[in-house]
């Protein structure tokens, strides 16, 4: 399970880096507003 969480966070970091280079800060902020609640629900589901 710990490995799954690690993979998940690494994937998130790579994804955010891609967003950062493509869209800059505005794109990243926009994505965060839309996806934060979904993302944290996924983490909670993974960590149980």
CA distance 30 to 8: 21
User: Considering the entire predicted model, what is its pTM?
Assistant: 0.32
Domain count, the chain: 1
pLDDT confidence of residue 24: 61
Phi, psi of 30 (to 5 degrees): -65, -45
pLDDT confidence of residue 44: 76
pLDDT confidence of residue 28: 57
Q: Which domain holds residue 28?
A: 1-47
pLDDT digit of tens for each residue in the chain (48 aa)?
667 878 888 888 888 777 666 666 665 566 566 666 676 777 777 776
CA distance 26 to 17: 13
CA gyration radius, the chain: 12
pLDDT confidence of residue 12: 82
pLDDT confidence of residue 25: 61
Tokens 């880096």 belong to: 17
């Amino acid at each position: 399970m710990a490995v799954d969480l690690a993979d998940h966070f690494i994937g998130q970091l790579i994804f955010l880096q891609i967003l950062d280079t493509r869209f800059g800060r505005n794109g990243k902020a926009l994505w965060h507003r839309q996806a934060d609640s979904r993302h944290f629900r996924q983490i909670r589901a993974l960590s149980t």
